């Protein structure tokens, strides 16, 4: 079980779509407004882990490939939204708000890194799904460090649009690279 806990911790803290979005949201909206996004990731991933071992094998042939293409398209769209986000922290539009709990929870089902983590975790360690989901839900709390990093960087970036754009583009590139790696 310790091996699985280390796997869950390492795969949860390393860069990927969830962590890139959390950092960008922490930077743009702060810690408090990004917490529903974090909770959506934690509980959404835990639920997905519970289901992945029993639901996905029952899907018709080709469904997983279709989901992969939908996931790639959505990740590219989100990466573009992050890369082109406003660098003016004082210019918040009505439609400019952080992801909520349900958006983040639903995203786990098409997050390539998350799906890989669930497949690997469910098949490699011999744990039951409930134990695995519980361990991953706890381990995913470390994703919150990305919110703190983004929020902390706000003071450094608030009056420097160029640095902010460089960070946004870097986070977007990490998301796109997660598709091909």
Contact 52, 130 (CB under 8 A): no
- Exposed, middle or buried, 28 (CB in 10 Å: 0-12/13-18/19+)? buried
The residue ranges of every structural domain in the chain are: 2-180
Give the pair of three-digit tokens for residue 102: 């349900």
Indicate the pLDDT class of residue 30, thresholds 50, 70 and 90: very high
pLDDT for position 74: 84
| Rounded (10°) CA dihedral 34, 38, 39, 40 | 100
pTM: 0.82
Average pLDDT, the chain: 85
Mean pLDDT of 21-41: 94
Mean pLDDT of 38-43: 94
How far is residue 27's CA from residue 11's CA, in Å, rounded to a whole number?
22
143-152 pLDDT per residue, tens: 999 999 999 9
pLDDT for position 181: 63
pLDDT at 95 over 60: no
Mean pLDDT of 13-19: 88
How far is residue 85's CA from residue 89's CA, in Å, rounded to a whole number?
10
pLDDT at 75 over 90: no
Q: Could you give the residue ranges of the DSSP H alpha helices within 30-143?
A: 31-55, 63-83, 101-107, 112-124, 129-139
């Amino acid at each position: 079980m310790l091996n699985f806990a280390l796997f869950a911790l390492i795969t949860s803290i390393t860069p990927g779509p969830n962590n890139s979005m959390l950092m960008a949201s922490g930077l743009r909206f702060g810690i408090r407004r990004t917490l529903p996004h974090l909770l959506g990731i934690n509980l959404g991933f835990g639920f997905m882990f519970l289901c992945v071992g029993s639901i996905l094998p029952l899907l018709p042939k080709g469904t997983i490939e279709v989901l992969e293409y939908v996931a790639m398209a959505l990740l590219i769209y989100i990466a573009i939204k992050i890369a082109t986000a406003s660098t003016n922290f004082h210019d918040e539009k009505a439609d400019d708000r952080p992801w909520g709990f349900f958006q983040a929870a639903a995203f786990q089902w098409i997050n390539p890194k998350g799906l890989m983590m669930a497949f690997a975790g469910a098949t490699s360690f011999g744990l039951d799904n409930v134990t695995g989901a519980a361990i991953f839900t706890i381990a995913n709390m470390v994703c919150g460090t990305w919110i703190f990093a983004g929020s902390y960087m706000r003071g450094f970036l608030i009056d420097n649009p160029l640095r902010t754009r460089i960070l946004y583009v870097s986070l977007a590139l990490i998301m796109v690279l997660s598709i091909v790696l």
